Amino acid sequence: MTRQIRVVDHIVAQLVGAGVDFMFGVDGANIEDLYDAAHFSDGITAVLAKHEFSAATMADGYSRAGCGLGVVMATSGGGSLNVIPGLGESFTSRVPVLALIGQAPTTMDGNGSFQDTSGRNGALDAEALFTAVSVYCRRITTAGDIISALPEAISAARRGGPAVLLLPKDIQQSRLPAMPVGEFLPTKSDSDLRPLLQHIRVAKGPVIILAGEQVARDDARDELELVRSLLGASTAVVPDAKDVTGTTGLGAEALLGVTGVMGHTGVAQAIRNSAVCVIVGTRLSVTARAGLDEALSRTAVCSLGSAIPFVPCQHIHSDDLRNSLSQLATELGSTGPEPAAPTGEDPRQGELSTPQHNGRGIRYRDAIDALDEALPDRVDIVVDAGNCGAAAIHTLPVRRAGRFIVALGMGGMGYSFGAAIGMTFGRQARHESRRTIALAGDGSFFMHGMEIHTAVQYRLPITFVLFNNNAHAMCVSREQIFYHDLYSYNRFGESSLGAGLAAMFPGLHAVDVDDPRVLREALGQALSTPGPSVVSIRCSADEIPPFAPFLNERDGHHHSTVTTEVQEAIADVPSRS
């Protein structure tokens, strides 16, 4: 007689077979059966987060770190809705994530049950909601549905983006015949590289490569560097792909820096001086291309990646950059052009010029320089949105063999706390001994910083570096620059985050630093502390970060490169002003 198992046991067994080590979530009545199944599985660990948004960013960070498919699970109602912002980030940034969302029992659909999201009889429609932030969404209504739906969801997610399965509680508990673990092989596809090769072969000058986040997702760094070296090309990276090229051994001598609103000014001139610009693995959103539109319009532009960029170009589709770049290198190795000399320059020569600031606390640049000096190789860095993010993206070098993650798809504040935790779990599962650094502002901390408790609970080697300026400081800058500094909604009462966390979590190494002379020592102690640690750096909300739209507007330079950002700001002016 065929053995019968629960749907949740089938899901867990198949995920283990797909190489999933962790599921991140918050428990609740309509997801507890999945936690139960994970408890009795030797191959997977269910991690309890403090908030569903953070659970989603844990799955996102785990996936971005290259540790495999990130899995988030949440119960019905408000718990499920809290996942949506995190999935929105994964959707926009095309990060492979699987979301398992509990639902009320199907027997109560449309009958006024607690947390009914069936879409029937006036109930909220979870399928409609999650479809908007996913590449695949399916509501499971019979036990047999899961047999086809789960591999479909995994395959869809692996092509880039979140997939969602809506799981009513009675379906989770239903039984179906036990079956062998399926093989979830990544989809491989060959790209027609002839148009790209034609552009390169007829090029009468240097080639520049703009590298993006898909290079990291497809683990194609080495292949990209081989292509770059064969072409003798210069490179620049979009903000959320700082670690894909330009580190030691990966073309550091040819790196021009970061593109976009937090980027380096020399990139635009390098594009103008190039015969061909090759965009690899990015769509070049406004954040990533501000300052480049005019230069790109003068240059032949090609693209290789899974999504068509926002700029006019010859696009070649590739869901597997590792494979496509290998093919390209083979072609270039046999029939490629004579490599042009790299036009690399010291990225600091192209840094944005920020105004001198003498306010209270430690300057952003001094804090980043101290962190740069303290961090060893093989350290992963996760950066949150805001002024500290702009400073780190612009000036903090990537560690050798380390990841540098910033979530700019939606730019949700508080992302770094969960993402750092998910990444660290992934490293531990692969027996990689390294520390993760999470950089966030106090505004992000107040939103999702209590997830530090999860790092404490699991004794994870994460150092949280908090830039505490007692404000949503980027919004303070907007008030000053775009609204004449007449008022501020965005300044907070003072807080001592380090002292507060040390008192809240006994045994946690957490300190406040407001003197640049002791910052390096404080960072060194935090980095050498086993388990989690916190350094809260006092800084000023009135310091302008390296962020081009602010600097250009403040200096009265209304360049077309920042028109979109400025227009967005002007559109927000209250009618009474």
Concatenated DSSP letters for 322-382? HHHHHHHHHHHHHHPPPPPPP----GGGG---PPP---SS--HHHHHHHHHHH--SS-EEE
Tens digit of pLDDT for each residue in 273-314?
Answer: 999 999 999 999 999 999 999 999 999 999 999 999 999 999
Confidence of residue 9 (pLDDT cuts 50, 70, 90): very high
CA angle, corner 399, sides to 284 and 98, nearest 5? 55
* DSSP letter for each residue of 417-468: HHHHHHHHHHHHHTT----EEEEEEHHHHHHHGGGHHHHHHHT--EEEEEEE
Tens digit of pLDDT for each residue in 419-464?
Answer: 999 999 999 999 998 999 999 999 999 999 999 999 999 999 999 9
Once rounded to an integer, what is the mean pLDDT over residues 368-385?
A: 96
pLDDT confidence of residue 480? 94
Q: Return the percentage of the chain with pLDDT > 90, whole number.
A: 85
* Euclidean distance between CA atoms 23 and 135, whole angstroms: 20
pLDDT confidence of residue 187? 56
Whether residue 567 is predicted with pLDDT greater than 70 in this model: the reply is no
Diameter of the chain measured on Cα atoms: 79
Once rounded to an integer, what is the mean pLDDT over residues 547-572?
A: 56
pLDDT confidence of residue 546? 94
Once rounded to an integer, what is the mean pLDDT over residues 328-349?
A: 64
The arrangement of strands across the sheet holding 70-74 comes to 45-48, 22-25, 70-74, 97-103, 162-168, 136-139
Whether residue 94 is predicted with pLDDT greater than 90 in this model: the reply is yes
Amino acid at the residue 204: K
pLDDT confidence of residue 191? 82
The phi-psi region of residue 195 (left if phi > 0; otherwise alpha if psi is between -120 and 50; otherwise beta) is alpha
CA angle, corner 410, sides to 409 and 416, nearest 5? 90
* Euclidean distance between CA atoms 42 and 162, whole angstroms: 26
Structure tokens at 19: 């190489």
Structure tokens at 294: 């005019």
pLDDT confidence of residue 569? 38
Average confidence score pLDDT of the chain = 91
Q: Kindly list the distances between the CA atom of residue 2 and the CA atoms of 10, 153, 175, 177, 527, in Å, as whole numbers in the listed order.
A: 14, 26, 12, 6, 54
* DSSP letter for each residue of 271-308: HHT-SEEEEES----HHHHTTTHHHHHTSEEEEEESS-
Whether residue 565 is predicted with pLDDT greater than 80 in this model: the reply is no
Tens digit of pLDDT for each residue in 98-156?
Answer: 999 999 999 998 999 899 999 999 999 999 999 999 999 999 999 999 999 999 999 99
pLDDT confidence of residue 185? 56
Whether residue 343 is predicted with pLDDT greater than 60 in this model: the reply is no
Strands (E), 53-133: 70-74, 97-103
Q: Kindly list the distances between the CA atom of residue 50 and the CA atoms of 55, 251, 416, 451, in Å, as whole numbers in the listed order.
A: 8, 41, 14, 6
pLDDT confidence of residue 336? 52
Structure tokens at 574: 């209250």
Tens digit of pLDDT for each residue in 449-507?
Answer: 999 999 999 999 999 999 999 999 999 999 999 999 999 999 999 999 999 999 999 99
Confidence of residue 573 (pLDDT cuts 50, 70, 90): very low
Whether residue 572 is predicted with pLDDT greater than 70 in this model: the reply is no
Phi and psi dihedrals of 45, rounded to 5? -120, 130
Confidence of residue 189 (pLDDT cuts 50, 70, 90): low
Strand partners, 162: 97
pLDDT confidence of residue 417? 98
Nearest to residue 519, comparing CAs of 342, 389, 374? 374
Amino acid at the residue 441: G
Once rounded to an integer, what is the mean pLDDT over residues 403-428?
A: 95
Amino acid at the residue 107: T
